[in-house]
Structure 1
């Protein structure tokens, strides 16, 4: 695609305020099918590792419920916050057409729900790192996207009732002991 065509193509699939007010269901679905071209590799790697692990652990329907919940609710809440910022004069009116596409909210929700897959006390270290990864950008740049990612993490953590009893938790200590045994003989 030419750069101009690509921007127009993605803008029509963006979950920005304008498109959400015109075609909410269509853009909520189609926006998750695209990623920002400049950052595709990190998302592709994270998507394959975390989502594959989560889908195996949760099963397809529960995994999909977490993805959809994080994507839809974080999108709607963050865009409402942006709309309020526009109305309050804290963001320019042109922000109604901001390009907002990608699977990152779904990814953040799944990464968060995987907290429950890890045995304590490792779980708490994972959670602390996860919260730091998503809180620091929110505290420093305070964009609606950073807010949406943080919300996605909270939504993923809120999916605990959905994932309770989904199988054995992973204990890194057991994995390290098995690796040590394999290496020593």
Structure 2
């Protein structure tokens, strides 16, 4: 009898993969404040998306104030708000344009804080992840607020004036980025920052319970889930490139302990972060030897970086479901249907390395040892082999 577990065992105590780990290592290696500041300045010189977005928001706001005036701002805000009136009329562009329009004039402090927050996220995650967390959370949180307000209007829980209330700005995305950034940092920082970002949204919601405070709370919770995903499933949600197929022969490396294999996996993930290799999937697998008699069954343990579980699928499916449901006018139905369908698909569909390949790899090594299974481009395998051999990894042919 074979039992599987997807949880970390007690031996794997260090932090999991952290996006931006290379920047953290460079900062730790800096001798003194001046050297650390130089590392940050060099890294900040490569920022592109964060300053571009902040400049767009500031430019639009200044342009409205200088050339259009207060009345035009009121009309622009109304036309781009993600409120019930607009979304029931299928004005779906408001889900995106609302992130670029401010309800009031631009404030220098607001611009600086937004630039620092998004800039830090881009340094740690990269441009693609920043865009995904900020924009997708802004859209999803807006749809969730719309669903709540729609239900409130139908059941008489709230006044009709809320249907045309202004709902624009950068706050949903900013709260999500702050929460995801807090959750994706090392353990010591997370212990302080995660409770802090929760307190900053829970207290205003408990005090006022407006749809804006609800949106901030929802976007923060979504951001925490995104930060968790960045650390635990770093390859999830990435499309496979044509150069690497499921039928390709994976690269296998044996390590003395699961902890050593885990550390090697983190190193390989950072190589991919540096764009030095192409990596489509990576799994650490190990097994327990069956004990005497039937009291202790054979167990195989896996640490996945790509394949989504049922809960992961339900969260992702629910997020996309509520967006699609909002476009159709039935956000709650879309949320439920999307979560159910995606959870069912995730439960039966293997998106990464096949379970059969991973199980054979785990069975091929002695109990107590671990195997790192990598699906990568053949041209990158010699470089990976040279790096992992120095880390104590022993190459193993898939046929062995």
Give the shorter-chain TM-score range: 0.7 to 0.9
1:50 and 1:75, CA in 2 relative to 1: closer, same or farther beyond 3 A? same
Superposed counterparts of 1:54-69, under 5 Å: 54-69=121-136
Partner of 1:153: 220
CA distance, structure 1, for counterparts of residue 105 and residue 204 of structure 2 = 18
Residue 104 of structure 1 aligns with which residue? 171
In the aligned structure 1, how far is the partner of 2:92 from the partner of 2:124?
A: 28
Native 8 Å contact 1:70 1:108 kept in 2: no
Q: Match of 1:134? A: 201
RMSD: 1.9
Equivalent-residue separation in structure 1 for 2:228 and 2:142 (angstroms): 22
Matching of residue 5 in structure 1 with residue 75 in structure 2: no
Contact 2:176 2:220 in 1 (8 A): yes
How far off is 1:10 after superposition? Answer: 1.2
Cα distance per residue 1:92-145 (max 9 Å; x no partner): 112111111011100000000111343222311111111110110010000111
- Structure with more relative contact order (C-alpha pairs < 8 Å, separation 6 or more): 1
Aligned mates of 1:113, 1:93 — CA distance in 2 = 34
Count matched residues: 167
Q: Which runs of 5+ in 2 are unaligned?
A: 1-67, 235-268, 271-400
Q: Contact 2:103–2:166 (CA<8 Å) still a contact in 1?
A: no
The verdict on how the C-alpha distance between 1:100 and 1:115 changes in structure 2, with shifts beyond 3 A counting, is: same
The aligned residue for residue 264 of structure 2 is none
Determine the C-alpha separation between the residues in 1 that align with 2:108 and 2:83.
24
**Segments of 4+ moved more than 4 angstroms:** none
The answer to whether the 8 A contact 1:79-1:144 is kept is no
Give the superposition deviation at 1:21. Answer: 2.1
Greater percentage in helix: 1
Partner residue, 2:150: 83
Q: CA separation in 1, counterparts of 2:154 and 2:109? A: 34
User: Cα distance, 1:160 vs. partner?
Assistant: 3.1
- 1:13-92 equivalences in 2 (<5 Å): 13-37=80-104, 40-92=107-159
Q: Deviations over 1:36-88 (max 9, x none)?
A: 22574443222101100101211111111101221011101011111111222
Deviations 1:136-161 (A, max 9, x none): 00100001110111110111111135
For the residue of structure 1 that corresponds to 2:187, the secondary structure is coil
Cα distance in structure 2, aligned partners of 1:136 and 1:106: 19
Q: Who wins on radius of gyration, i.e. which is larger?
A: 2
Please tell me whether the aligned partners of residues 183 and 228 of structure 2 are also in contact (alpha carbons under 8 angstroms).
no
- Larger fraction in strand: 2
List gaps (5 residues or longer) in structure 1. 168-185
